[in-house]
Structure 1
Amino acid sequence: MLVTVIVSVVAGMVSGLASHYITIKKFLLPRKSKLAFHPGFLGEMFVGSIASLVGVAMFNPETMMDILKVSILAGISGQAFLLHNRLATEQVKTDEIQSISKKLTELEKKNKE
């Protein structure tokens, strides 16, 4: 049981790290700004390990090869979930910027009249 958990966590961390590198083309180090803490590649390793643990718990693989397969697939899926959320957030920001731009244009037209 402990070996299964360790293998699952390590495989998830490695798949999270690989997914981070594939997505960004470099390793972002953790950093702290005035407003927030940005975990960098460590955040994606954490998500990959948690996703792989959930995947192994749900599918209950029997052999070590099956544990690795499930862990890697779940770790990459966790990264896809994060990427989807990032894209959705960026879309909301873009929509808000366009809305503000339209309102500014309308105000400028009213001021000219």
Structure 2
Amino acid sequence: MLKDIIFSMVIGGMAGIAGHVRKHGKIIMPRKTKRFIFLGFLEEMLLGSVAAFLIMIYTTPNSMIETIFLSALAGISGDIILTNFRALNENKEKES
């Protein structure tokens, strides 16, 4: 079970990186500014890994194909959720 969870997190992280490259056209490295730390591609990778971890714990797939499919889907979904969250914050700022 632990091997499946680790494998799932790796697949989810790779899907997160693929979503990052699709969105930005390149890999943006982490950097520190005066106000905050920008995580770059690590943000999407971590979000994809956590999403894949949660999906694995919740569903417990029976085969390796299901594990790969659900992990990749979770990694891509993590990127979509992050994009929607940012859009909602921007809309709140514009209304204020």
Fold-level similarity (TM above 0.5): yes
Secondary structure (helix, strand or coil) at the match of 2:68 reads helix
Q: Name the residue aligned to 1:62.
A: 62
Provide the TM-score with structure 1 as the length reference: 0.80
Q: Name the residue aligned to 2:5.
A: 5
Counterparts of 1:73-92 in structure 2, within 5 Å, are: 73-92=73-92
Q: Which consecutive segments of 4 or more residues in structure 1 shift more than 6 A?
A: none
Q: Which runs of 5+ in 1 are unaligned?
A: 97-113
Q: Which runs of 5+ in 2 are unaligned?
A: none
Q: Name the residue aligned to 1:31.
A: 31
Q: Name the residue aligned to 1:111.
A: none
Secondary structure (helix, strand or coil) at the match of 1:49 reads helix
Provide the TM-score with structure 2 as the length reference: 0.93
Distance in 1 separating the partners of 2:92 and 2:31: 25
Q: CA deviation at 1:95?
A: 2.8
Deviations 1:24-61 (A, max 9, x none): 11211101111111100011100000000101111110
- Alignment RMSD, CA only? 1.0
Distance in 1 separating the partners of 2:95 and 2:18: 31
**Larger RCO (CA within 8 A; separation ≥ 6):** 2
